[in-house]
Structure 1
Amino acid sequence: MPITKPAPLLVRSTVIVALAALASGCTSTPTATPGSCESVPFTVHDPVEPVNRGIFAFNRAVDDYALAPIARGYRKLPDMFQAGVHNFVANFGEPKVFINDLLQGNGQRSVNTLGRFAINTTVGIVGLIDVSGKLGIERHESDFGQTFGVWDIAPGPIVELPLLGTANLRDATGKVVSFAVDPFGDNSDTVETLGTIKTVGGVVDGRAQALPLTDKLQAQPDYYVALRDAIAQRRADFVAQGKLGSVQDAPHCGDEGAANE
């Protein structure tokens, strides 16, 4: 009989479980109840603004002629369909939320995320139905940009990424790391197909969620500055929330929550 090596997925799962035990047993994260909408101070450092504006013009053209029209059509679909897409996209992203919960040393959040993923993937039909939410286990967001912020890494200068939009250097790096991290290991054809659906659905659903905010910001004298500052505020609030360690996300101020979608 040939000797088989442990599957990469099993190795990754073992490491994650070990990290979960370490986070739960060795860290103490305060549990806070999200309060009223309060924004934290933020600064914007945009030393290469002319370059960023050039890339922003390209991104806006793609958005105006492709993404935004598709998103507006999507918003006309039945609410049940939109909710299903939104829930599926969020559920497929839960493993990365779980990883970031661990990296932030938040044992309670990581347990909630793991429980949500297990329940919604099974009972909720691969996440189409947010059964966990109905049971009182609320969804929260977490990403590598937030994790770097919780680690007190400075936001850095503003960078406009082609097709990916506006971000500070810390969040842009977080996006790159997120692309490189694959919690599912060696993907089967089914997982790869679901991943493709998640990516497409996430782009459309995220843009649809952001439409109310971007429509309002486009009415400002300088859309670039208005959107850049809205995103900076939202991300500053998001990092502060991560440092607080709330089990649930705090409410976004106005529509700023959509600025980074």
Structure 2
Amino acid sequence: MKIKIILLLLLSYSFALDQNFEDFEQEYKSYQINDPLASYNKAMTHFNIALYTYGFRPILKGYNEVTPQFLRTGVRNFFDNLFSPLRFVGNVLQLKFENAGEEFKRFTTNTIMGFGGLMDPASQMGLKKHPADLGTILGHWGVGGGFHLVLPVLGPSNLRDTLTLPAIWYADPISYINPQWESIAISAYGFSNELSFKLDEIDEIYYNSPNLYPFLRDAYEQRRQELSK
């Protein structure tokens, strides 16, 4: 059970990383959030920042130094392409057929012309990625986010999105790799590799944002609302 929980967090983090950290600053507005667990959420935010500062950040700095850019980019493209069918289904279930069509084009283009997704010719052709998951599907059909909740490692979330994590686990093809420790290792590597591209963005937000917790909270909730429209 503990192994499944670890894997679940790693898999779900890939969806969180789909939502570019730049969107936090571009779309941020301060507005009322249901936050009855504010004390816990602030403490968990400080924990996540410390984990990033003393754990992930130095390791990934070293990883970036020793790993060629083309290799990191290839891994990033592969995992992004792997999740494209899930984004396609998510957009279809929100009746966003134009977005779903673009995701389908991205997947077929990158799978065929991008050598199984290792390259990303779709982006060069102007085909955009459209994040979608079970949380945004439920939000689109009127299910509210409930109270805000900060998860360990994963970061900002809310009750609705947190309750969708088991479905994300079952929908992800990596979760079916056996033995299960290999699933965890692959997911952890994909998560770490993606995070290695965002260190400067995360540094800017974590270390230079005044009132960091309400900023992250409000930005997350607004971003999820935008994706659910």
Q: Same fold (TM over 0.5)?
A: yes
Q: Is the 8 A contact 1:67 1:204 kept in 2?
A: no
Secondary structure of the 1:146 match is helix
Inter-partner Cα distance in structure 1 for 2:53 and 2:79: 23
Secondary structure of the 2:108 match is helix
1:155 to 132, 136, 145: 145
The reply to whether residue 236 of structure 1 matches residue 225 of structure 2 is: yes
Partner of 2:23: none
Partner of 1:119: 109
Partner of 2:97: 107
Q: Describe how 1:246-261 pairs up with structure 2 within 5 A.
A: none
Letter in 1 for 2:201: P
Partner of 1:11: none
Inter-partner Cα distance in structure 2 for 1:170 and 1:84: 33
Deviates more, 1:51-60 or 1:148-157: 51-60
The reply to whether residue 63 of structure 1 matches residue 46 of structure 2 is: no
Partner of 1:208: 197
Question: CA shift at 1:78, angstroms?
Answer: 4.2
Deviates more, 1:91-100 or 1:209-218: 209-218
Partner of 2:17: none
More helix by share: 2
Q: Is the 8 A contact 1:157 1:169 kept in 2?
A: yes
Question: CA shift at 1:135, angstroms?
Answer: 3.3
Partner of 2:186: 197
Question: CA shift at 1:41, angstroms?
Answer: 7.5
Partner of 2:207: 218
> Aligned-pair RMSD on alpha carbons?
3.2
Secondary structure of the 1:172 match is helix
Decide which structure has the larger Cα Rg and report it: 1
Question: CA shift at 1:51, angstroms?
Answer: 1.8
Relative to structure 1, the CA distance from residue 152 to residue 41 in structure 2 (aligned partners, 3 Å threshold; closer, same or farther) is farther
Residues 157-177 of structure 1, C-alpha deviations (whole Å, 9 max, x = no match): 111112221112222233342
Question: CA shift at 1:52, angstroms?
Answer: 1.9
1:227 to 216, 226, 229: 216
Secondary structure of the 1:160 match is strand
Letter in 1 for 2:149: V
Residues 189-223 of structure 1, C-alpha deviations (whole Å, 9 max, x = no match): 6xx96885355223431363264244334234443
Q: Is the 8 A contact 1:89 1:202 kept in 2?
A: no
Question: CA shift at 1:94, angstroms?
Answer: 0.8
Residues 30-49 of structure 1, C-alpha deviations (whole Å, 9 max, x = no match): xxxxxxx7667753211011
Q: Is the 8 A contact 2:28 2:219 kept in 1?
A: no
Inter-partner Cα distance in structure 1 for 2:58 and 2:195: 13
Structure 1 length normalisation: TM-score?
0.64
Letter in 2 for 1:147: I
Question: CA shift at 1:100, angstroms?
Answer: 0.5
Give me the identity figure in percent: 29
Partner of 2:33: 44
Structure 2 length normalisation: TM-score?
0.71
Partner of 2:169: 179
Secondary structure of the 1:218 match is helix
Gaps of 5+ in 2: 1-25
1:170 to 160, 164, 168: 160
Letter in 2 for 1:92: L
Secondary structure of the 1:225 match is helix
Relative to structure 1, the CA distance from residue 157 to residue 207 in structure 2 (aligned partners, 3 Å threshold; closer, same or farther) is farther
Letter in 2 for 1:223: L
Q: Which has the higher contact order (CA 8 A, sep 6+)?
A: 2
Inter-partner Cα distance in structure 1 for 2:140 and 2:191: 25
Partner of 1:143: 133
Inter-partner Cα distance in structure 2 for 1:202 and 1:221: 27
